[in-house]
């Protein structure tokens, strides 16, 4: 049975954590750049191919404006 030193475990853990952080930051941007995974997300870090969220906001604003123009007073 091989004994591992505490320092060796600490180095291994630090390397694993730094690799995970790197892949979280770089990997997600890489995947998002090659695949349209979050095209409808309002907080995407790139310009989406489809901007469904903005279209939904415009439609809601237009509906509210139309309700205001028709008036509710009788």
Q: Which residue has the higher pLDDT, 12 or 74?
A: 12
pLDDT band at 68 (very low <50, low <70, confident <90, very high): confident
Query: What is the reported pLDDT for 13?
Result: 94
Percent with pLDDT over 70 in the chain: 66
Token couple for 12: 């291994």
Neighbouring CB atoms inside 10 A of 28's CB total: 13
Strand segments, DSSP code E, in 1-74 are: none
């Amino acid at each position: 049975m091989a004994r591992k030193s505490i320092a060796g475990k600490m180095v291994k853990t630090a390397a694993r954590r730094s690799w995970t952080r790197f892949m979280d930051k770089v990997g997600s941007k890489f995947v998002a750049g090659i695949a349209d995974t979050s095209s409808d997300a309002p907080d995407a870090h790139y310009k989406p191919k489809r901007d469904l969220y903005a279209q939904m906001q415009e439609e809601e604003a237009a509906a509210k404006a139309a309700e205001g123009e028709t008036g509710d007073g009788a």
